[in-house]
């Protein structure tokens, strides 16, 4: 099944590290999330955290960080995971060892990805009581006090059952 991207865009300016959080069965279609962020350090780290259960997976694609005054210059390496096979090249993945089943945390490709082409990051880490959380992060160069745009596409594939343990967070450290 191919999911068509939603036109919903959330835009906000944040001066605190936490950018966004969602839980349950949303977003069930590809949604773009966009935030302005004021740098408080010269090497901030963009971090995503994923908690899934037996019935759900998260897909992340097209992650961009740009200086608001220079939007054509991408500050992340491998932002759409195109330079990866199953391991997310230029990204750090941690706590994936807590996965007790599923595909874990890896790069996938094809119809599950945004626009049904290319690569994207998949988290299929059923929580069987271990509290499995997967983190994905990458640092980028910044100037303290400058404003940056953080943009990404997210989708959750939901297969029924309980969704109480699903959670996605995006934050900057």
User: What is the full per-residue pLDDT of the chain (173 aa) written as tens digits?
Assistant: 233 333 333 444 444 468 999 887 777 899 999 999 999 999 999 999 988 777 778 999 999 999 999 999 999 999 999 999 889 999 999 875 556 666 778 899 999 999 999 999 998 876 555 557 889 999 999 999 999 999 999 998 866 665 556 789 999 99
For the chain, how many residues are written? 173
DSSP string, 112-132: GSGGG-SEEEEEE---SSS--
Question: Domain limits of the chain?
Answer: 9-172
Q: What is this structure's pTM? A: 0.85
Residues 6+ apart with CB under 8 A from 46: 63, 65, 76, 137, 138, 139, 140, 150, 170, 171, 172
Phi, psi at residue 115, to the nearest 5°?
Answer: 65, 10
């Amino acid at each position: 099944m191919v999911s068509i991207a939603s036109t919903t865009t959330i835009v906000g300016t944040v001066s605190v590290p936490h950018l966004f959080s969602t839980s349950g069965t949303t977003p069930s279609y590809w949604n773009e999330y966009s935030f302005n962020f004021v740098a408080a350090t010269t090497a901030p780290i963009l971090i995503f955290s994923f908690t899934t259960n037996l019935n759900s997976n998260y897909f992340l694609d097209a992650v961009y960080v740009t200086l608001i005054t220079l939007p054509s210059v991408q500050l992340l390496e491998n932002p759409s995971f195109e330079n990866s096979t199953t391991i997310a090249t230029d990204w750090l993945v941690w706590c994936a060892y807590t996965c007790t089943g599923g595909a874990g945390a890896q790069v996938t490709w094809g119809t599950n990805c945004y626009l049904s082409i290319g690569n994207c990051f998949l988290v299929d880490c059923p929580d069987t009581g271990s509290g499995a959380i997967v983190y994905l992060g990458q640092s980028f160069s910044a100037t303290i006090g400058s404003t940056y745009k953080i943009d990404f596409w997210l989708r959750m594939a939901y297969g029924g059952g309980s969704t109480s343990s699903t959670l996605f967070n995006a934050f900057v450290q």
